[in-house]
Amino acid sequence: MMTSEFRRPQINGNKVFVKDDNIEKAMRKFKKKVNDSGILQTLKDKEFYEKPTTVRKRAKSAAINRWNRKLAEQQLPKKLF
């Protein structure tokens, strides 16, 4: 049989079912799913080529910022008098 030729391709992705013709609620759910999955962020990151040195610099500065933020959280608050 040639059923494999007529089989629809399986689409993996974010799906939202509309219940009771409530499109607004379905759109909110869909936007939340897309935002949580990070699809848009990866598309924005891949929109333009970025040199590997630039990627490393940005990653290193982000790590330094995270470390400084962690140190700031651990410090005692300044005396207010």
Where along the chain do its domains lie?
Answer: 14-74
10-residue averages of pLDDT along the chain (81 residues)? 59 79 90 89 91 97 97 85 69
Asked whether 34 and 40 are in contact (CB, 8 A), the reply is yes
User: Which pLDDT does position 9 carry in this prediction?
Assistant: 59
- Decide: pTM greater than 0.85: no
Asked whether 33 and 14 are in contact (CB, 8 A), the reply is yes
38: left (phi over 0), alpha (psi -120 to 50) or beta: left
**Encoded tokens for 70:** 């962690």
18 Cβ neighbours under 8 A, 6+ residues apart: 26
